[in-house]
Structure 1
Amino acid sequence: MEQKANNYFFKSFLTIVIAIGVFWGLKQVLPGRLFPESTAAIPGIVIDSLALDAMSADSLSISEGDSLVSDTLINRVKIETSDNSEGIGNLVNFYEKLYDLETSGKGKVRIAYFGDSMNDGDLIVQDIRSAYQNQYGGKGVGFVGITSLSASARYSVTHQFSKNWETQSFLNVKKPKRAFGVDGQVSFVPRGSQTWLKYTANDVANATLLYNPTLFYGSSSNHNASVNISFSKDSTVRYELITSKLLNTLKLSPSTKTLKATFEKADSIPFYGINFDDGSGVHVDNFSLRGNSGLPLSLFNKDLMNALDKVLNYDLIVLQYGTNVLGYGTTDYSWYESKMSGVVNHLQQCFPNASILIISTGDRAVKTNMEMQTDKAVEPLVKHQKLYAEGTHSGFINLYTLMGGYGSMVKWVQENPSLANKDYTHFNQKGAKKIGGLIYGELDKGYFEYKKLRESGRISARPKNSTQSDDL
């Protein structure tokens, strides 16, 4: 009996030794990463159809009409701030508007912040907005679209809407029924139905009310449409919708805590969103869509964006993209650099008075050699994001190095309390708040250097642009 037990033990031990040997031998020839991401799909990590098209060899060149604009030194100065940013002097138009606001106490500055799932639910953006408004004044959450996939996750304003809205997004529709709005969407009321929107201000600093709610919508041959506005239990006002212009605006009510808009006979009218701001200080609009690579911004209609810009007066356009082009089996992002160069040039034509800031992808970790490590595609992508920022004379903030560089996402996940989710890609609320502070800090360093140049007389004020409107 004892001999049988010894034989069984020896055979078991020999089997384990052979298995370890086979595993070690295979480990030397198999790739370090057996799976491209993880065993489960990561929510929000998808890619838009334009990015998938651009990855093909037939579509790497910039499309006709997207050649880069000529370099003009008048809009640039040399400003060096830190190792985490470059070309900050390209933001001189934005800094001058901020300087005018700070020194005169009058006027307003507006920022459009375009992003993906990293900014879902107003993450990062709400903290940058708060920092600017605390420092320079301004109240309100800015422009909010008609519908949003992340409405339920947004705390800076409660956003509700009826389910019968027909919304087209530039993530999956290249030729919409009407031009996309500034949030990349256009929404329609179905024929013969009542369709509604409801917004409620929360107890958020500088946004405790819905300030001067103003509806933005497009032209139509429909002259029978109306909207009923309820902004208190006992107050309802009916407005006819005048649809004669390419872009129409309608002030819906005085500043209020809650607003509900019910649309009647409003089919065929393109609706874009409602703006909430108090008309002074700094305002920051969050235009984030999950899965956006940034390339769909090339689908903006220039005439509509020019009309919208005359009302909202954008001074800074921020592009925070990159997450959704990681993890597709490539480290060559020359195609992305080429296409995004065209996108930035198009935005310069859509918003001609605005400076443009590129924020790179942050760190992202994947399982390699049985441990979480920085995705090998991150640094090549950051390099090409920096290159298209340079080539388009945009400002550039390196979010990857700003958060700590190689291996930083692992540290952020393992922090106590954690600053990022266990998908090793997205920041949680605490991490987003820290990122917002870091980005604002880089911008503020640039502004500090700009003020020194301005007040020493080394750069002078530029003539005021007379084409913009202060209607809102």
Structure 2
Amino acid sequence: MTNNQNNCDPHMNSSAKVYIIVALTFILLLLAYYLPPIAIGGYSLRQVDVLSDIAPAAPSKPAATTPAPPRAEPQRKPWKEEWPAGVVPITDYGEDSTQGMNHFYSLLLDKKLDRPVRIAYYSDSFVEGDIMLADLRHLLQAEFGGQGVGWVDMMPGFNDQRLTVQEKTSGWTRHAVVDKKDFKSSLMGPSQAYYTLAAGTASTSVYNVGAKQYASQWERTTVYLKAPRGAQVSVEGAGSSRLNASPRVQEATFAAGRDGRARVQVSTTVGSVTAFGMALEGRRGVVLDNLGMRGIPGFTVADIPDDNLADFARLRPCDLVVLQFGLNALETCKSDKFCKHYMAYFKRAIAKFRRHYPGVSILIVGVSDAQQRSAGGLRTMPQVAKLTAYQQQLAASEKAAFISMQALMGGEGSMQRYVAKGWAEKDYKHINYRGGAAVARNFYMSIKGGLDNYRRKKTAGY
């Protein structure tokens, strides 16, 4: 028997080898598809894909798109105020509609407002007897309407020689912040004073002296007092009103003053009464209250009791608070330490007014020009510039408004010119009624200029 079974056919062995080589090659090529990209000499080799001709085409990816840049809103140019030549600008540091002078300006333009626009002017002897304020009030009321002098204390004192109204009183006991005894700051009203009646009857008669047209008559006489055990209030010829017992400030309003006079009587038979004053005003227009006090630097404005101020805010809203002080602090305002300490009191006062009168406008008025004698003659006191700078910084930090009284008077050295014209006293610190009239005209033009800027700004959409 032959041994053929042990010897394979050579043709069959050759075919098998070919198939094995092809299969191995195919497998290697398939594995090569999964190799990472290979680069030689900076050139990337093409990926091996033996199935590319028979594999279904992969769905094409949408082409990447670059998003359009966001549309830029047109940039508005910063608002630029315009002030007429010769008009002293009111620098407004308020940043929105609730700060600076915006609230006050908006109400001056509000034809639907059903109450007066009220200004509370806090100052020192610069405005004693309605100096400057009588004329400023007259100009504002001529432009925007309004009647009466506004606030009048229950007894004459600081304003006992007003150009506008005079008073006669009986039965009251006066307590003011400048009094050294029998004064309690926890009891004072917005004018930094209060008046007491232990029992019986007290009266205050007020009558115009005809110096200013719009202040010589008024539509309403309103009395403000506290009567813990109740009280009877009457105005001659206008009736009477019974106030119930209450620890809070109350008001009694009468249609009296059209003839330029009003006689108020307050009576109590049980307990005491603490009165603050009365308001002589019209139903609309502008009311300017003179809340000045002779001899004070202004520290005590911040001490007006919160409960009393809250009651007055409820009964008699205020729209612009003006703070003009410094005349009685010039001699001591020589160091930065004192000036910073001084400004801290006004920061407290501003915070208090804003707390009780939301949105109220605040205007800081820089100290007036004041002169002293030196070896070279009369010179403006160097403290004027220093204090004015601190007052302007105060306005900026508190987002209030600022105007320079020295600038309203005509700048440095203006007091000497006022004295030469007979517009100021020879102490070179206090103006008189003629000087006050000149300053009032300038002040009025500044308010008008500020209002015009406000109107144009709103029209332009700012």
Q: Does the pair score TM above 0.5?
A: yes
**TM superposition shift of 1:171:** 3.5
1:67-124 C-alpha deviation (Å, 9 max, x unpaired): xxxxxxxxxx9856466532265211111111213xx586531111111111111111
**Equivalent residue in structure 1 for 2:411, among 405, 408, 423:** 405
**TM superposition shift of 1:178:** 5.2
**Equivalent residue in structure 2 for 1:274, among 273, 278, 297:** 278
Matched, 1:87 2:92: yes
The answer as to whether partners of 1:302 and 1:349 remain within 8 angstroms in 2 is no
- May I ask how many residue pairs the two structures share in their alignment? 370
Q: Quickly say closer, same or farther: Cα 1:295–1:377, change in 2 above 3 A.
A: same
Task: Determine the C-alpha separation between the residues in 1 that align with 2:234 and 2:346.
Answer: 42
Q: Quickly say closer, same or farther: Cα 1:212–1:402, change in 2 above 3 A.
A: closer
**Equivalent residue in structure 1 for 2:205, among 198, 209, 214:** 198
1:122-159 C-alpha deviation (Å, 9 max, x unpaired): 11112121111101111111121112313431121112
Percent identical pairs in the alignment equals 24
**Equivalent residue in structure 2 for 1:144, among 152, 156, 169:** 152
Question: Which region of structure 1 is more displaced relative to structure 2, 288-297 or 257-266?
Answer: 257-266
1:7-22 aligned within 5 A: none
The answer as to whether partners of 2:186 and 2:304 remain within 8 angstroms in 1 is no
Aligned to 1:379: 385
3-state SS in 1 of match to 2:430? coil
**TM superposition shift of 1:331:** 4.4
Task: Determine the C-alpha separation between the residues in 2 that align with 1:125 and 1:100.
Answer: 23
3-state SS in 2 of match to 1:410? helix
Mind listing any 5+ residue stretches in structure 1 that lack a counterpart?
A: 1-76, 459-472
The answer as to whether partners of 2:147 and 2:218 remain within 8 angstroms in 1 is no
**TM superposition shift of 1:259:** 1.9
**Equivalent residue in structure 2 for 1:422, among 411, 421, 426:** 426
**Equivalent residue in structure 1 for 2:184, among 169, 176, 198:** 176
Q: Quickly say closer, same or farther: Cα 1:345–1:178, change in 2 above 3 A.
A: closer
**Equivalent residue in structure 2 for 1:242, among 232, 241, 244:** 244
1:241-260 C-alpha deviation (Å, 9 max, x unpaired): 32325121112343343222
**TM superposition shift of 1:173:** 6.6
The answer as to whether partners of 1:112 and 1:284 remain within 8 angstroms in 2 is yes
Aligned to 1:392: 398
**TM superposition shift of 1:435:** 1.0
Aligned to 1:123: 131
Q: Quickly say closer, same or farther: Cα 1:249–1:421, change in 2 above 3 A.
A: same
**Equivalent residue in structure 1 for 2:265, among 249, 259, 262:** 262
Aligned to 1:359: 365
Matched, 1:454 2:455: no
The answer as to whether partners of 1:94 and 1:354 remain within 8 angstroms in 2 is yes
Matched, 1:318 2:322: yes
1:386-409 C-alpha deviation (Å, 9 max, x unpaired): 111111111000111232222111
**TM superposition shift of 1:326:** 1.2
Task: Determine the C-alpha separation between the residues in 2 that align with 1:312 and 1:282.
Answer: 13
Q: Quickly say closer, same or farther: Cα 1:338–1:229, change in 2 above 3 A.
A: closer
**TM superposition shift of 1:442:** 1.2
Structure 1 runs of 4+ aligned residues shifted over 6 Å read none
3-state SS in 2 of match to 1:205? coil
The answer as to whether partners of 2:169 and 2:205 remain within 8 angstroms in 1 is yes
1:5-154 aligned within 5 A: 79=81, 81=83, 84-87=89-92, 90-101=100-111, 104=112, 107-154=115-162
1:19-58 C-alpha deviation (Å, 9 max, x unpaired): xxxxxxxxxxxxxxxxxxxxxxxxxxxxxxxxxxxxxxxx
Task: Determine the C-alpha separation between the residues in 2 that align with 1:254 and 1:263.
Answer: 16
Task: Determine the C-alpha separation between the residues in 2 that align with 1:83 and 1:123.
Answer: 20
**TM superposition shift of 1:356:** 0.3
What is the TM-score of this pair, normalised by structure 2? 0.74
3-state SS in 2 of match to 1:140? coil
What is the TM-score of this pair, normalised by structure 1? 0.73
3-state SS in 2 of match to 1:213? strand
Q: Quickly say closer, same or farther: Cα 1:210–1:452, change in 2 above 3 A.
A: closer
Task: Determine the C-alpha separation between the residues in 1 that align with 2:381 and 2:158.
Answer: 27
Q: Which amino acid aligns with 1:243?
A: A
Task: Determine the C-alpha separation between the residues in 2 that align with 1:329 and 1:320.
Answer: 15
Q: Quickly say closer, same or farther: Cα 1:78–1:172, change in 2 above 3 A.
A: farther
Task: Determine the C-alpha separation between the residues in 2 that align with 1:387 and 1:355.
Answer: 17
The answer as to whether partners of 1:337 and 1:388 remain within 8 angstroms in 2 is yes
**TM superposition shift of 1:328:** 3.1
Task: Determine the C-alpha separation between the residues in 2 that align with 1:108 and 1:456.
Answer: 28
